[in-house]
């Protein structure tokens, strides 16, 4: 893990640079992707961190034994800095704030508001017919009986 200070956010962030696993005498090294990061005061949490489907862990080289391994961590959570006690601090989650369903709902609502606004604008532009009305003459009467 490494820690860097970014002036734009005015805080320190940590990134997972590598994961080294050893099993039965074989050592595999995975590079952490750029997507495993969090503020240094927080922990990082993700539902699934794998090396095969939407990989966040990538084998270090083509000759590394990690190419033969399929690693999957469920409910993955790490914290490398500012540990207090044995509990994780507030977690920075890997999931985005807006899911695809929320984006679709927001865009559909925006489209409907635009259609409604356009319709109201068109209705407000309607003018009443005054072609046959003469304000100085008698009003038009339409008999109800024939």
Query: What pLDDT digit, counting tens, does each position of 6-43 carry?
Result: 888 888 888 888 878 777 777 788 777 777 778 888 88
Give the sign of the dihedral formed by CA 103, CA 45, CA 2, CA 59: negative
Give residue 86's pLDDT. Answer: 79
Q: Residue 99: is its pLDDT beyond 70?
A: yes
Q: Which residues pair with 95 in a beta bridge?
A: none
pLDDT digits (tens, 9 = 90+) for 61-75: 777 777 777 777 788
Give residue 133's pLDDT. Answer: 63
Count, residues in the chain: 146
Give residue 105's pLDDT. Answer: 96
Q: Give the side-chain half-sphere CA count within 13 A for 114.
A: 6
Which of residues 146 and 82 earns the better pLDDT score? Answer: 82
Give residue 75's pLDDT. Answer: 82
Give residue 77's pLDDT. Answer: 81
Task: Kindly write down the DSSP assignment for every residue of 58-107, as one continuous string.
Answer: EESSTTSGGGG---EEEEEEE--SS--TTS--SEEESS-SS-HHHHHHHH
pLDDT digits (tens, 9 = 90+) for 101-134: 999 999 999 999 999 999 999 999 988 766 666 6
Max Cα separation, the chain?
107
């Amino acid at each position: 893990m490494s820690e860097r200070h970014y002036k734009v956010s005015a805080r320190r962030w940590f990134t997972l640079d590598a994961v080294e696993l050893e099993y039965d005498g074989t050592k595999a090294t995975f590079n952490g992707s750029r997507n495993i990061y969090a503020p240094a005061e927080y922990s990082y949490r993700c539902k699934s961190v794998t090396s095969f489907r939407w990989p966040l862990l990538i084998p270090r080289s083509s000759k590394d034994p990690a190419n033969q391994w399929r690693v999957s961590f469920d409910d993955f959570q790490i914290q490398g800095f500012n540990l207090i006690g044995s509990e994780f601090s507030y977690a920075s989650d890997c999931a985005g704030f807006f899911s695809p369903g929320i984006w679709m709902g927001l865009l559909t609502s925006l489209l409907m508001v635009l259609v409604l606004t356009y319709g109201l604008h068109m209705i407000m532009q309607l003018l009443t017919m005054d072609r046959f009305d003469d304000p100085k003459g008698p009003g038009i009467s339409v008999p109800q009986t024939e």
